[in-house]
Chain A
Amino acid sequence: MSSSIETLVNREYAYGFVTEVDADTLPPGLSEAVIRLISAKKDEPEWLLEWRLKAYRRWLTMKEPHWPNVTYGPIDYQSQSYYSAPRSVTPLQSLDDVDPELLKTYEKLGIPLNEQKFLSGVAVDAIFDSVSVGTTMKEELKAHGIIFCSLGEAVREHPELVQKYLGSVVPHSDNFFAALNAAVFSDGSFVYVPKGVRCPMELSTYFRINSEGTGQFERTLIVADEGSYVSYLEGCTAPKRSTNQLHAAVVELIALKDATIKYSTVQNWYAGDKQGLGGVYNFVTKRGKCLGANSKISWTQVETGSAITWKYPSVILQGDNSTGEFYSVAVVNNHQQADTGTKMIHIGRNTKSNIVSKGISAGHGQNSYRGQVKVMPKATGARNYTQCDSMLVGNQCGAHTFPYIEVGNNSAQVEHEASTSKIGEDQIFYLKQRGLSAEQAVSMIVSGFCKEVFKELPMEFALEAQQLLGITLEGSVG
């Protein structure tokens, strides 16, 4: 194996450390009182509290879904804490006020929040457990009229925008985990790009779970007004814990006429140890709505972490000529399980969607692609192309494909292609006879397999993703 890959492969989960910060954590348990308390702590207006309570009451009537192709023990929703905040950030005025301990944490993670040291031109909103600890580059964004702040701050500063769009794509009653999120969501990022503005830099949120026994329930809302463009990145890590932590986030994207939103995720929550102990349950609802004509929403995800991943970034193609895209690499190793894919709902005329999904299963990992392409009767001229490929490394893992194709309009053109294979012996043989070692050949084939997705990622993330792929496949390649 080439030396650089080798070091990657032998590297452990690098983000498993715990930061010692004084945290304000609610006692475990969930009730209306807890929701009122969260809302009060965040000084929220009445309508938001009502919305939370409505979601909570709805959640009580719902059952945890078990249709995904994953297995896990029962989750005790009363045994975890629904709010944890580093005590030092309460009066969040500027980054200078941020606890140096927290800044160090983010530096360790490779996310410099300190603007002087900041070179790469990415604005970052850092979310530590339940709250946002700092947002960089705010001033420059403000000059363009772009709002980029924590959702809590947006509720205070721009209530009209939040009230208009919150829950408009993922309603409070959407599904079990979305309802739970709507009831207890702590913080998240809010982005508003005004008419005709092209966001001059990548916006990024970095999520970090730190406290033990807490879940993370953040909520992200991105609104791209007419003719605007924004590219948003999201990264996640968590410390190594032997217990499972629940992460039930909601992301809502709204693209108005002629707007484009590009949303990229590199998900690297702690995946549990080699025996499958611990790790994050990543049960996330992500959905975008192409509300206006000619709008476009593009999801790119690299899923390497989490013990269990259960997410389907989707696009509702409501505006005529709108486009939805989904590019995904999902890697499972050891005892990881992933049930991920997308939904493309074609409603408007001449809507297009493109799905490229690459799954790699190693160790005892189980990887499922589950996707829905639905063409409504009025969606004339709809076009979809889906490609989903799986690669198997080792003989204990599994790869599964569950595409649902529902076409109600005969002018639609829908194509789905899927393949599952292991790395071909003939491919390795070919590379070997060109002078590469078997290990080099394998790593070259794997990176070639994922290339179509990686090329969709912004530069900084593409490199990180490539490295993560190496780490996740630790010990199984070659």
Chain B
Amino acid sequence: MIESYLRGFERISASGGATAPDWARSLRLSAITRFETLGFPTTKNEDWHFTSVAPIAEREFELLAPPTHGVTAAQLAPLAFGATDWHTLVFVNGRYDAKLSSAAALPDGVTLVPLKQAYETLPLLVEQYLGKVATFEGQTFTALNTAFLDDGAVVHIEKEIEVARPIHLLFVSDTSAGAGTAQPHNLIVLDRFAKATVIESYAGLDGAGAYFTNVVTEAVVGDGATLTHLKLQRESEQAYHVGTLDVRQARDSHLVSFSFATGAALSRTNIYTELRGDGCGATLNGLYLGDGEQHIDHQTRIEHVEPNCYSRELYKGILDGSAHGVFNGKVYVHPAAQKTDGKQTNNTLLLSEKAQIDTKPQLEIFADDVKCTHGATVGRLDETALFYLKSRGIAARTARQLLTYAFAADVLESIELAEVREGLEAATLRRYIEQS
């Protein structure tokens, strides 16, 4: 319901919202106007052709307040696969929680603060980039998020600094999230030759209900810098999740992105990157695991603006029950982007008769000296592989489970960070292989 957001916006404006600088307040104002004009997309909108957002559009979500009863560190530990030395900012119901966060032991030249604090400590940086990378002109959910711009994380890595341990932005929703909405907005800036791994986690704690997370993350990767971005979406089963990662890459920079999606009743992950300098590279990988009535949608867009860049993309999905998967990958090569080398693959495994996938890999090419390929496959487990395993004395059931796991492990292997790779492998193993 658009009206409930408009009312919510007025309430916040009336009550001051005074912590934000003027430019942020005017940004919010133009965003709510844009949101009102755009409205929620229908399936007639090409970008939302296979995903109906009616369940989100028809519901009224209250903007969430911080939880009334405490979330404990013990509840959060499994979400970081037990790792204790990550630099972590924790947000509960979209609100920064200082007690649970542990960003103390940061190396020099690294800033990791909640947005409100960044307005004070990094005012120029925030003003320079916030709302500039993830523009909301044609994006309803980005407009909605920007209209309620208030909380989130700001990460800044100064030039030539390498952050050894990952930075973890952990967003959890607890039982008090109910039918509320969180609209966090993150900004990641890597100066030239900086290097960092940022993990964004979204999770529902036990008993969290049908809440709605709508997150926008903007990332600026400077000359020669490398950003590794892992998004782990493990929302509660009834939740709604829309997440957008919008990246702008400068010369010789690299983006390594991995999106893992397994939660939420309805989820949509947008990963967009613009290769705006010579010699950039972008690797976008992902794995989506769906079951029951889940709807999991991924949309990626790689814009090759400048020459001599490469992009690699591998998205895999395993769908069971009546789950519905959607993949739409766009590779756009601008006229100046000669010598572009692009490769995109989407493979989906359908485990049950009712599971469904709509995939749309897309190439739009305006330069001539390019090499671009894409491929998509949909099917069930390979009968010959099953037969081979059975011929080696492995029971049919075990063979199926092994092959299912192997299908997923193939893309999980690409995650460099050991804790996350092993953690997700273990979780996938538990999910698909019965323990005896």
A191 CA to B351 CA in the complex, in Å? Answer: 45
Closest residue of chain B to A372, judged by CB? B360
Closest residue of chain A to B356, judged by CB? A408
Chain B nearest CB, measured from A337 CB (Å): 13
Q: Does A407 contact B (CB under 8 A)?
A: yes
Chain B nearest CB, measured from A136 CB (Å): 44
What are the interface flags for B330-370 relative to A under an 8 Å C-beta threshold, 1 for contact and 0 otherwise? 00000100100000000010111111111111111111111
Asked whether B358 lies within 8 Å of A419 as measured between CB atoms, the reply is no
Asked whether B379 lies within 8 Å of A413 as measured between CB atoms, the reply is yes
**A414-B46 in contact given A407-B356, A408-B356, A421-B372 (Cβ < 8 Å):** no
- List chain A residues, Cβ under 8 A from B348: 407
Question: Which of A161-169, A253-261, A350-358, A396-404 participates in binding chain B?
Answer: A396-404
Asked whether A418 lies within 8 Å of B368 as measured between CB atoms, the reply is no
- List chain B residues, Cβ under 8 A from A396: 335
- List chain A residues, Cβ under 8 A from B366: 397-398
Closest residue of chain A to B382, judged by CB? A413
A395: which of B46, B364, B367 is its contact (CB, 8 Å)? Answer: B367
Residue from the set A396, A400, A410, A413 with the largest chain B CB neighbour count within 10 Å: A410
Instruction: Provide a sorted-by-A list of 14 A–B residue pairs whose CB atoms are within 8 angstroms.
Output: A399-B363, A399-B365, A400-B362, A403-B362, A405-B357, A406-B358, A407-B350, A410-B355, A410-B379, A412-B350, A413-B378, A415-B376, A420-B365, A422-B369
**A417-B373 in contact given A403-B362, A410-B350 (Cβ < 8 Å):** yes
What are the interface flags for A383-395 relative to B under an 8 Å C-beta threshold, 1 for contact and 0 otherwise? 0000000101111
**10 A-B pairs with least C-beta separation:** A410-B350, A392-B368, A401-B363, A419-B373, A413-B379, A416-B376, A414-B378, A420-B372, A407-B378, A398-B366
Asked whether A407 lies within 8 Å of B357 as measured between CB atoms, the reply is yes
- List chain B residues, Cβ under 8 A from A419: 371-374
B353: which of A393, A394, A410, A416 is its contact (CB, 8 Å)? Answer: A410
**A417-B375 in contact given A402-B362, A409-B353 (Cβ < 8 Å):** yes
Chain B nearest CB, measured from A43 CB (Å): 43
Interface residues of A (CB under 8 A from B): 67, 377, 390, 392-422
Closest residue of chain A to B332, judged by CB? A400
Number of residues from B at the complex interface, CB < 8 A: 36
A414: which of B363, B364, B369, B377 is its contact (CB, 8 Å)? Answer: B377
- List chain B residues, Cβ under 8 A from A416: 361, 374-377
Asked whether A403 lies within 8 Å of B375 as measured between CB atoms, the reply is no
- List chain B residues, Cβ under 8 A from A413: 377-380
Chain B nearest CB, measured from A64 CB (Å): 16
Asked whether A412 lies within 8 Å of B372 as measured between CB atoms, the reply is no
Asked whether B373 lies within 8 Å of A420 as measured between CB atoms, the reply is yes
B360: which of A399, A404, A410 is its contact (CB, 8 Å)? Answer: A404
Chain A nearest CB, measured from B171 CB (Å): 32
Q: Which residues of chain B in 367-419 are interfacial with respect to chain A, using CB atoms and an 8 Å cutoff?
A: 367-380
Asked whether A392 lies within 8 Å of B360 as measured between CB atoms, the reply is no
Given A392-B369, A419-B372, A421-B372, 16 additional A-B pairs, CB 8 A: A396-B335, A399-B363, A401-B362, A401-B364, A401-B374, A402-B362, A404-B358, A405-B357, A405-B360, A406-B357, A407-B378, A411-B380, A412-B350, A418-B373, A420-B373, A422-B369
Interface residues of B (CB under 8 A from A): 46, 50, 335, 338, 348, 350-380
Closest residue of chain A to B359, judged by CB? A405
A397 CA to B369 CA in the complex, in Å? Answer: 11
Chain A nearest CB, measured from B213 CB (Å): 28
**A403-B361 in contact given A393-B368, A412-B379, A420-B372 (Cβ < 8 Å):** yes
- List chain B residues, Cβ under 8 A from A395: 335, 338, 367-369
Asked whether A412 lies within 8 Å of B378 as measured between CB atoms, the reply is yes
- List chain B residues, Cβ under 8 A from A403: 360-362, 376
- List chain B residues, Cβ under 8 A from A414: 376-379
Chain A nearest CB, measured from B231 CB (Å): 24
Asked whether B364 lies within 8 Å of A400 as measured between CB atoms, the reply is yes
- List chain B residues, Cβ under 8 A from A406: 50, 356-359
B368: which of A397, A411, A415 is its contact (CB, 8 Å)? Answer: A397
**A392-B354 in contact given A403-B360, A405-B359, A414-B377 (Cβ < 8 Å):** no
Closest residue of chain A to B367, judged by CB? A395
- List chain A residues, Cβ under 8 A from B351: 410
- List chain A residues, Cβ under 8 A from B367: 392, 395
Asked whether A415 lies within 8 Å of B353 as measured between CB atoms, the reply is no
Chain A nearest CB, measured from B106 CB (Å): 44
Asked whether A418 lies within 8 Å of B374 as measured between CB atoms, the reply is yes
- List chain B residues, Cβ under 8 A from A390: 363, 365
A402 CA to B355 CA in the complex, in Å? Answer: 23
Closest residue of chain B to A369, judged by CB? B363
A400 CA to B46 CA in the complex, in Å? Answer: 16
Asked whether B361 lies within 8 Å of A394 as measured between CB atoms, the reply is no
- List chain A residues, Cβ under 8 A from B355: 410
A399 CA to B350 CA in the complex, in Å? Answer: 31
- List chain B residues, Cβ under 8 A from A420: 363, 365, 370-373
Asked whether B358 lies within 8 Å of A398 as measured between CB atoms, the reply is no
Chain A nearest CB, measured from B357 CB (Å): 5
A392 CA to B350 CA in the complex, in Å? Answer: 36
A399 CA to B367 CA in the complex, in Å? Answer: 9
Chain A nearest CB, measured from B85 CB (Å): 43
Chain A nearest CB, measured from B375 CB (Å): 5
- List chain A residues, Cβ under 8 A from B46: 67
Closest residue of chain B to A393, judged by CB? B368
Chain A nearest CB, measured from B330 CB (Å): 10
A468 CA to B213 CA in the complex, in Å? Answer: 56
Closest residue of chain A to B364, judged by CB? A400
Closest residue of chain A to B368, judged by CB? A392
**A405-B376 in contact given A392-B365, A399-B365, A410-B355 (Cβ < 8 Å):** yes
Chain A nearest CB, measured from B307 CB (Å): 11
Closest residue of chain A to B340, judged by CB? A420
Closest residue of chain A to B344, judged by CB? A418
